[in-house]
């Protein structure tokens, strides 16, 4: 089934859906411009703006549901942005509204949580301003009805992410991580930009309607556009080969890791691929590359997750891996879109809940992140333990919890497409069972390996309530979306639907195998980290462990593949620059500067010489006019 | 260049002849006369009296202000002449009179300002 | 000779904004003459604002109630048409914003007649004297600007030129600090301005000799009927052009700009750099499009040369400047060059309307950003007044991040970076020029913009990435007026950069009727 037509819309709640973006933006503006005057109530304003945005989102959603199924793609025209090129408008359809609810819903919970988490931080107001900025940009990203608007949001979330990773900029590691994220993302943005250039020259428009409607035409360079879009998606979603920034991004405050680097921003790549699905369906090569990238990342992320002792980095590896699943599903075409987005939503809940749980633990343990110094926390932090545990069960695919439904859907769909992809995804699920159990047991069970001065305690209610709400989502979300193909039906007007929807097979071979592998992984983790002693310093381990600990040598690879050759190239360039090119490049600059210096001397400061130059100029102008006039 | 500028040719020619005569006379003079300079001969000639002070002299700045004020009156007068020729024409009369006094009022503003700023007093 | 004298008809309604501004100026002079010294400022400031804003309101009334007139007013002497009304609005806004800066007494000398450094000056300083003549002078200058941009015959244009310029010559010499520099600037501006007026007047005389009229429409008609006096016409055009190009500061008539901008009190510099430029472009367009429009084959190549020289010279010379105001002056020269590109982009009516609308928009956004930038300059101060030298601005970003940020934003707008108003201004003008067949000019323009971007960014780098000087300048607490100016300018630069559509459309509408004849 093809995606439904897009209808212009005005009036109603949908007509004012721009409020969703405007409110948090206003919040950010007030907080940033208001300065210290807003310190006392700034965080409440931030929360209020986010909640207001959520309310508008819900009302929009309700109004959208009230429309007929084929009528659910509405464009709200806002203004002419670049005359003759871009008309800014918002596209409210099932795909974008799903994201809106996730972003504003989870976002609001994380805002609330942050009131507690950042209560002692002197920069709390600035933090909420950035969070609001992020929410606004992310909503623009998913709501814009054209690639330019999407790109502005894309850059906006990049900026917010940069600002928030480097929020504690006094730490050199945070500042470096922020810059790394920024630079790696630029590589992806480059791909996205070139894709947009191609789109403009091919279609003469940036709007989704006309562009995607004609994406299947014969003369469209769909493969090139698809691969370039994928490059953009890889940057933002930390997929191979642009994954290296995500682990470092954990230097940011934990709510940021939960909101931006787990639940929402990093899934923008998945959104991009699903939204631009028409290009990929027209280019099987690009689709194949998408699935390969997805599988490679899901395995790489899982392997990295097995070896990290830093709780946030282990979770970041897991995020990479889970997004790998989504990208894989998005690469499968209409059959996978619903699962990709469903997994994205459930992942948003359980990963956010686990990250916030990790934050709660860190809050209790004086910001200690090394899991080897945790252990046995279950008894002192009951709520955190329970919510984290539910998130953990959801992510490993414990039957009937959220992850079970959505991840299994992806595996089934991949199996349908190509057994190799399917079985690799199954192996990834097994690894997930191991590394997530490792995180859970090392943190909450086993012996207490706390530092001398640690006095863990449960976090305040303002932090635990968001955890509880999120874990409700991680328990029931999957079943709600998947059972009866509810989500696929809802989404199909926006992204299309397969000819015959994939049924749910709980007792298929891959399904059973997955469960068995997960159980083995979890059991092994229990024996190794739950029951037996965990050494306080990481043992040396085999070369495989080292491999995983060093992020699969991702940084080393970047260094040797890009940085070193880049340095050599630079050196070479400098060499040539000093010799030959000097005359051209440096010479040009020096030439301009030099001529500027020489020309300056005309400016003698004497009125008489100015007058002379005017006279001279007048003579030249008159002479030239006479000359031209008499030609 | 054609006829329009052609009519100036005579003027230019006359001008050239005039310059040539004067320059020629001075040149001849210079050729013929003996040149023996003494300090007395180099003095500026001021009707037989020895010159006093420097060649450069400054006027008192107050004269400048009075010149300005004179300009204000002059502008008045210049506009009054053409006005006087239409004043008598049928259908003008009163209106033109009022307009002219409005104009004079604006011009007088400058004088009033100068007077209030005590420019008119010499000391 | 026809002896019957026709009584002139004057459309007072259309001229009301002009009359209001001039009337307020006259009242201002009376206040100076009769009001006691301590009361003058409290009369002058409201009077100035009321007249400027009132004139703006009158323009709105004219546009929305009476409709844009379709025939020239005052016996063909003044053309109140779409472009005029837009330019009037722009000038009045810029003037009002500049006056906000002027209300800060600290910029003006207490007693202009006192010799710099003399005992009289010290007395005047101690007494707290202030020259409230500044306000009527500004009003006269603004009135001149309004008339200059709307005058429909050369004589009126010359009168307007002088009414605009003479008060500015005076105002330039009133800086409170570095008075010798200020007086030098004033005298230079006066001498060169008088010289250029001479060119203008002589060009006017020659054109009159050719056409037998000073009426712009009449000259245009004469171009079609009179023949055989080409040298007269061409030399007249050249000299008229020199007079106008001097006012916009196009090369090779740009020499006065840096010296005068640097020496003049900064609020006056802001007024000159914004309002005068706008008015002069209005007049330039009127002369070259209305009167000499049919001669475009002759003047266009020369204008090409002037535009290229202006852009290149402005951009290149700005690089080695070490004084912030001089740098902004050269940047203003370069911008005049960019605007000239639009003047050249003539063609059929549609093309002309596009080019005109681009120029109008550019003038608005450039003017506002300029006033904002000079407002920032006024608050960065040393012991001896404003800290003009660029080295003093090093590390400003650390000492006053908000101020430096706003200034950096203005500079980016000058450079034409997207999402600032400057981008759309340049885009509108260059796009019109490209479709008008002036592609090589556009290329030169873009290259010069790139060179210009270099020195804008250099200042930003200096502000944010250099260590602050140990005895760096103090950041004066801006007066309410100055703060308001910076805020308004920054807001306008943002809004017009992100959401330029309504104003672009307004400029389009103003330009659609072109100049009436």
Q: What is the per-residue pLDDT across A324-333, written as a single tens digit (0 to 9) for each?
A: 999 998 888 8
pLDDT given at position A514: 82
Tokens of C127: 């007494």
Question: Could you tell me the pLDDT band of residue A534, with boundaries at 50, 70 and 90?
Answer: low
Adjacent-strand bridge partners of A76: A90
pLDDT given at position B27: 93
What rounded mean pLDDT belongs to chain C? 89
Give the closest-approach CA distance of C103 to chain A in angstroms: 26
Q: What is the ipTM of this complex?
A: 0.87
Contact C231 B1 (CB under 8 A): yes
Strands C474-475, A86-92: pairing kind: unpaired
Among residues 15-54 of chain C, which lie with CB inside 8 Å of chain B? Answer: 26, 29-30, 32-34
* Range of the structural domain that residue B31 is part of: 3-42
Which comes out higher in pLDDT, residue A191 or A593?
Answer: A191
Question: Could you tell me the pLDDT band of residue A339, with boundaries at 50, 70 and 90?
Answer: confident
Three-state SS letters, C355-424: HHHHHHHHHHHHHHHHHHHHHHHHHEEECCEECCEHHHHCCHHHHCHHHHHHHHHHHHHHHCCCCCHHHH
Query: Is the residue at B53 inside a domain?
Result: no
Q: In whole angstroms, what is the distance from residue A548 CA to residue C183 CA? A: 74
Q: In whole angstroms, what is the distance from residue A278 CA to residue C206 CA? A: 69
Q: Are residues B79 and B109 in the same domain?
A: yes
Q: Are residues B24 and B66 in the same domain?
A: no
Which comes out higher in pLDDT, residue C99 or A118?
Answer: C99
Tokens of A32: 């940033």
Look at chain B and report how many structural domains it folds into: 2
Best interface-test mutation with A: which of C300, C302, C322, C406 has the largest number of A CBs within 10 A?
C302
Question: Could you tell me the pLDDT band of residue C89, with boundaries at 50, 70 and 90?
Answer: very high
For the cut 60, the answer to whether the pLDDT of residue C2 exceeds it is no
**Among candidates B1, B95, B113 on the partner chain, residue whose Cβ is nearest the Cβ of C32:** B113
For the cut 80, the answer to whether the pLDDT of residue A629 exceeds it is no
Instruction: Give per-residue pLDDT as tens, A63-102.
Output: 888 887 778 888 888 777 777 777 888 888 888 998 999 8
Which comes out higher in pLDDT, residue B46 or A162?
Answer: A162
Contact (Cβ atoms closer than 8 angstroms) between residue A184 and residue A117:
no
Q: In whole angstroms, what is the distance from residue C485 CA to residue C493 CA? A: 12
Query: A with C: how many residue pairs have Cβ under 8 Å apart?
Result: 97
Give the closest-approach CA distance of A78 to chain C in angstroms: 11
Tokens of B45: 């000639």
Contact B116 C229 (CB under 8 A): no
Q: Are residues B81 and B108 in the same domain?
A: yes
Question: Could you tell me the pLDDT band of residue A492, with boundaries at 50, 70 and 90?
Answer: confident
Order the strands of the A7-8 sheet from edge to edge.
A7-8, A74-82, A86-92
> Which range is least confidently modeled, B112-121, C183-192, C445-454?
B112-121
Radius of gyration in angstroms for the set of CA atoms belonging to chain A, rounded to a whole number: 27
How many CB atoms within 10 Å of residue A262?
Answer: 31
Q: Is A569 on the interface with C (CB under 8 A)?
A: no
Q: Are residues B65 and B111 in the same domain?
A: yes
pLDDT given at position C111: 82
Helix (H) / strand (E) containing C475: strand C474-475
Q: Is A592 on the interface with C (CB under 8 A)?
A: yes
Q: Which residues of A touch C253 (CB under 8 A)?
A: 613-614, 617
Best interface-test mutation with B: which of C28, C29, C131 has the largest number of B CBs within 10 A?
C29
For the cut 60, the answer to whether the pLDDT of residue A306 exceeds it is yes
pLDDT given at position A578: 55
Q: Are residues B101 and B65 in the same domain?
A: yes
Q: In whole angstroms, what is the distance from residue C83 CA to residue C364 CA? A: 12
Contact C317 A80 (CB under 8 A): no
For the cut 80, the answer to whether the pLDDT of residue A614 exceeds it is yes
Q: In whole angstroms, what is the distance from residue A621 CA to residue C306 CA? A: 9
Tokens of C170: 């005076």
Contact C33 B86 (CB under 8 A): no
pLDDT given at position A581: 46
Three-state SS letters, A26-43: HHHHHHHHHHHHHCCCHH
Chains touching chain C at 3 or more Cβ pairs under 8 angstroms? A, B
Q: Are residues B69 and B37 in the same domain?
A: no
Which comes out higher in pLDDT, residue A576 or C343?
Answer: C343
DSSP SS3 for C229: coil
Tokens of A26: 């206003």
**Among candidates B91, B95, B116 on the partner chain, residue whose Cβ is nearest the Cβ of C33:** B116
**Among candidates A80, A592, A610 on the partner chain, residue whose Cβ is nearest the Cβ of C501:** A80
pLDDT given at position C1: 40
Per-residue buried b or exposed e for C352-382, using 16+ beta carbons within 10 Å of the residue's own CB: bbbbbbbbbbbbbbbbbbbbbbbbbbbbbbe
For the cut 60, the answer to whether the pLDDT of residue A118 exceeds it is yes
Q: In whole angstroms, what is the distance from residue C426 CA to residue C442 CA? A: 10
Chains touching chain B at 3 or more Cβ pairs under 8 angstroms? C
What rounded mean pLDDT belongs to chain B? 82
What rounded mean pLDDT belongs to chain A? 82
Question: Could you tell me the pLDDT band of residue C228, with boundaries at 50, 70 and 90?
Answer: low
Strands A7-8, A74-82: pairing kind: parallel
Tokens of A35: 């300065």
Query: Is the residue at B10 inside a domain?
Result: yes
For the cut 90, the answer to whether the pLDDT of residue C165 exceeds it is yes
Q: In whole angstroms, what is the distance from residue A161 CA to residue A252 CA? A: 9
Instruction: Give per-residue pLDDT as tens, A22-69.
Output: 899 998 888 888 777 778 888 888 899 999 999 999 998 888 888 877
Contact (Cβ atoms closer than 8 angstroms) between residue C75 and residue C8:
yes
């Amino acid at each position: 089934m093809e995606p439904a037509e897009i209808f212009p819309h005005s009036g109603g709640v949908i007509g004012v859906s721009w409020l969703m973006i405007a409110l948090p933006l206003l919040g950010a503006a007030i907080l940033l411009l208001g300065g210290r005057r807003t310190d006392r109530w700034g965080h409440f304003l931030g929360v209020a703006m986010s909640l207001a945005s959520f309310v508008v989102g819900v009302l929009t959603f309700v109004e959208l549901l009230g429309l007929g199924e084929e009528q659910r793609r509405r464009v709200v025209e806002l203004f002419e942005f670049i005359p003759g090129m871009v008309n800014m408008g918002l596209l409210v359809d099932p795909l974008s509204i799903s994201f809106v609810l996730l972003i504003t819903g989870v976002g609001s919970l994380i805002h609330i949580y942050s009131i507690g988490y950042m209560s002692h931080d002197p920069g709390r107001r600035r933090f909420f301003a950035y969070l609001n900025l992020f929410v606004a940009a992310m909503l623009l990203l998913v709501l814009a009805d054209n690639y330019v608007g999407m790109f502005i949001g894309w850059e906006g979330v990049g900026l917010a992410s940069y600002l928030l990773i480097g929020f504690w900029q006094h730490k050199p590691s945070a500042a470096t991580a922020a810059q790394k994220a920024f630079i790696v993302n630029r590589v992806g943005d480059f791909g996205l930009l070139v894709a947009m250039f191609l789109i403009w020259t091919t279609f003469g428009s940036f709007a989704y309607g006309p562009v995607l409607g004609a994406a299947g035409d014969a003369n469209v360079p769909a493969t090139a556009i698809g691969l370039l879009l994928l490059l953009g998606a890889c940057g933002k979603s930390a997929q191979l080969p642009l994954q290296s920034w995500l682990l470092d991004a954990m230097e940011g405050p934990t709510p940021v890791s939960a909101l931006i680097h787990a639940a929402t921003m990093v899934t923008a790549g998945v959104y991009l691929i699903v939204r631009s699905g028409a290009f990929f369906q027209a280019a099987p090569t690009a689709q194949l590359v998408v699935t390969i990238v997805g599988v490679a990342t899901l395995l790489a992320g899982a392997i990295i997750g097995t070896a990290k002792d830093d709780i946030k980095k282990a979770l970041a590896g897991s995020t990479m891996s889970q997004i790998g699943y989504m990208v894989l599903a998005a690469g499968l075409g209409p059959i996978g879109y619903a699962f990709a987005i469903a997994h994205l939503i459930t992942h948003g809940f359980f990963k956010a809940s686990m990250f916030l749980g990790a934050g709660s633990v860190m809050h209790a343990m004086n910001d200690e992140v090394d899991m080897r110094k945790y252990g046995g926390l279950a008894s002192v932090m009951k709520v955190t333990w329970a919510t984290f545990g539910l998130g953990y069960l959801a992510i490993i695919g414990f039957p009937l919890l959220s992850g079970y439904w959505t991840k299994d859907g992806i595996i089934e769909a991949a199996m349908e497409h190509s057994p190799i992809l399917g079985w690799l995804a199954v192996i990834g699920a097994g690894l997930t069972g191991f590394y997530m159990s490792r995180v859970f047991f090392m943190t909450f069970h086993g012996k207490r390996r706390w530092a001398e001065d640690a006095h863990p305690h449960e976090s305040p209610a303002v932090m635990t309530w968001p955890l509880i709400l999120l874990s409700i989502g991680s328990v029931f979300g999957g079943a709600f979306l998947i059972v009866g193909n509810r989500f696929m039906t809802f989404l199909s007007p926006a992204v299309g639907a397969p000819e015959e929807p994939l049924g749910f097979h709980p007792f298929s071979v891959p399904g059973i195998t997955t469960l068995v592998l997960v159980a083995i992984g979890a059991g092994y983790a229990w024996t190794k980290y739950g029951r037996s002693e965990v050494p306080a310093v990481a043992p040396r381990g085999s070369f495989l462990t080292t491999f995983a600990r060093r992020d699969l040598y991702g940084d080393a690879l970047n260094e040797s593949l890009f940085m070193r050759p880049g340095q050599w190239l630079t050196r070479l360039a400098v060499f040539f620059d000093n010799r030959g090119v000097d005359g051209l490049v440096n010479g040009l600059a020096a030439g301009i500067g030099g001529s500027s210096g020489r020309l300056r001397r005309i400016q003698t400061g004497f009125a008489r010489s100015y007058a002379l130059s005017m006279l001279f100029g007048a003579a030249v102008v008159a002479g030239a006019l006479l000359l031209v006039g008499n030609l | 260049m054609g006829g329009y500028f052609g009519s100036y040719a005579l003027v230019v020619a006359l001008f050239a002849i005039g310059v040539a005569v004067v320059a020629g006379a001075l040149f001849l003079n210079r050729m013929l006369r003996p040149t023996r300079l003494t300090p007395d001969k180099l003095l500026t000639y001021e009707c037989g009296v020895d010159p006093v002070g420097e060649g450069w002299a400054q006027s008192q700045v107050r004269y400048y202000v009075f010149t300005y004020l004179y300009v204000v009156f002059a502008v008045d007068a210049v506009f009054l002449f053409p006005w006087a020729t239409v004043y008598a024409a049928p259908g003008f009369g009163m209106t033109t009179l009022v307009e002219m006094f409005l104009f004079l009022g604006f011009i007088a503003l400058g004088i009033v300002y100068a007077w209030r700023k005590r420019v008119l007093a010499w000391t | 000779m026809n002896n019957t004298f026709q009584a002139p008809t004057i459309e007072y309604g259309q001229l009301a904004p002009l009359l209001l501004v001039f009337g307020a100026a006259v009242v201002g002079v009376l206040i100076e003459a009769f009001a006691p010294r301590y009361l003058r400022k409290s009369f002058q400031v409201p009077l100035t604002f009321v007249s400027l804003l009132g004139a703006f309101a009158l323009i709105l009334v004219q546009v929305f109630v009476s409709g844009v007139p379709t025939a020239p007013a005052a016996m063909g002497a003044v053309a109140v048409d779409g472009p005029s009304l837009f330019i009037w609005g722009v000038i009045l806004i810029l003037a009002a914003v500049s006056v906000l800066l002027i209300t800060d007494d600290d910029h003006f000398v207490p007693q202009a007649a006192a010799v710099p450094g003399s005992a009289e000056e010290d007395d005047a300083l101690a007494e707290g004297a202030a020259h409230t003549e500044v306000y009527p002078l500004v009003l006269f200058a603004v009135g001149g600007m309004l008339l200059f941009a709307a005058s429909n015959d050369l004589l009126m244009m010359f009168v307007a030129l002088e009414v605009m310029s003479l008060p500015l010559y005076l105002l330039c010499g009133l800086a409170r600090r570095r008075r010798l520099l200020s007086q030098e600037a004033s005298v230079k501006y006066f001498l060169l301005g008088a010289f250029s007026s001479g060119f203008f007047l002589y060009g006017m005389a020659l054109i009159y000799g050719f056409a037998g009229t000073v009426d712009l429409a009449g000259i245009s008609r004469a171009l079609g009927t009179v023949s055989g006096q080409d040298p007269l016409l061409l030399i007249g055009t050249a000299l008229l052009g020199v007079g106008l190009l001097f006012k916009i500061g196009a090369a090779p008539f740009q020499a006065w700009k840096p010296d005068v901008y640097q020496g003049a009190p900064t609020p006056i510099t802001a007024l000159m750099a914004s309002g005068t430029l706008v008015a002069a472009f209005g007049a330039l367009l009127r002369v070259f499009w209305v009167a000499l429009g049919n001669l475009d084959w002759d003047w266009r190549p020369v204008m090409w040369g002037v535009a290229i020289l202006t852009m290149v010279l402005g951009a290149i010379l700005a690089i080695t400047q070490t004084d912030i105001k001089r740098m902004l002056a050269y940047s203003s020269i370069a911008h005049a060059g960019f605007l000239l590109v639009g003047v050249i982009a003539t063609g059929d009516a549609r093309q002309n309307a596009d080019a005109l609308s681009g120029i109008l928009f550019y003038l608005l956004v450039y003017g506002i950003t300029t006033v904002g930038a000079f407002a920032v300059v006024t608050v960065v101060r040393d012991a001896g007044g404003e800290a003009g030298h660029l080295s003093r601005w090093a590390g400003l970003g650390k000492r006053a991040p908000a101020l430096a940020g706003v200034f950096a934003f203005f500079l980016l707008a000058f450079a034409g970076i997207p999402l600032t108003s400057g981008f759309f201004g340049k885009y509108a003008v260059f796009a019109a020029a490209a479709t008008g067949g002036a592609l090589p000019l556009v290329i030169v323009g873009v290259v010069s913009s790139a060179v210009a971007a270099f020195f804008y960014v250099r200042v930003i780098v200096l502000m944010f990435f250099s260590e602050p000087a140990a005895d760096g300048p103090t950041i004066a607490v801006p007066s309410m007026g100055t703060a308001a100016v910076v805020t308004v300018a920054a807001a306008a630069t943002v809004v017009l950069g992100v959401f330029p559509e309504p104003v672009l459309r307004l400029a389009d509408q103003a330009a659609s009727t072109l100049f009436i004849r």
